Homo-oligomer: A and B are copies of this chain.
Amino acid sequence: MTPGSQHNDDTSTQRLRSDAERNRGRIIAAARKVFARDGLNASMASVARETGVGIATMFRHFPTKEELVAAVFADRMDAYADAVATALADPDPWNGFAGYIETACAMQAADYGFADVLTTTFPSAEAMEGRRNEALEGMLQLSARAKAAGRLREDFDSTDIALLLMANAGVVNVTGGAAPDAWRRFVALFIQSLEAPARGPLPAPPDHDALHQAMLRTSPDGTTEPDTTG
């Protein structure tokens, strides 16, 4: 190989790389829009259509929806984890706890795709799962503080928040368009149910492993059908 052809190869490789990066960025931007509008069960094909690229280009950049989801929601998951630090800085343990729940639910209301991301585990997206675990650790500290202050019911379990996030995803998915603030009342009621003292006994929380298993879904509707639309 001569230095000249080396140079030419570098230039065309660079051009290919920069084309690829541009396409990748366009796909992420389009996917953000489609997931926010339709939720995570939007098809890869509908993201390709929105981007204006072929389905083959789509899959070359993101062989699985999990990889696309991780790329699209990395910044939101960062904000979610950062919100715990803010909540832990609140001198009032109950305000910190309740405020964090409201923030998380507001993030779901603002983005239906993220509403589903918060209740779905993506084992191969290690960076995103790392932030999710940080958020969980922070939530455990928040709830321990609120219990110690006598403001949170003693039988509160961290899985109660997972259930709330699944529930709120259900609320915002139906009401988001026509009644966009409906989730606020639902979440306010739920938060009041967590205040100490408990009004009565509760069924046992779900097993943590079982709940983790439930969150291992690649799409919210559990679809395994091949994606052939579009």
Contact = CB atoms under 8 A, between A and B. Distances in A.
A225 B228 CA distance: 12
Nearest to A223: B38
Interface stretch (A53-61, A71-79, A183-191): A183-191
A167 interface: yes
A119 interface: yes
Interface residues of A, number: 59
Contacts of A1: none
B170 A173 contact: yes
A5 interface: no
A89 interface: no
Q: How many copies of the shown chain assemble into the complex? A: 2
Interface in A130-164: 159-160, 163-164
Contact of A229 (B164, B184, B188, B225): B225
A204 B183 CA distance: 11
A4 interface: no
Contact of A167 (B184, B186, B204, B230): B186
B166 A185 contact: no
Nearest to A156: B189
Interface stretch (A8-16, A19-27, A174-182): A174-182
A218 interface: no
Nearest to A224: B38
A220 interface: yes
Interface string A214-230: 11010011110110111
12 contacts: A163-B171, A163-B175, A163-B186, A164-B186, A167-B186, A174-B220, A178-B210, A178-B214, A179-B211, A185-B203, A185-B206, A226-B229
Given A167-B167, A192-B193, 13 more contacts: A43-B225, A166-B171, A175-B214, A178-B210, A178-B213, A179-B211, A181-B206, A182-B205, A182-B206, A182-B214, A185-B205, A188-B202, A225-B229
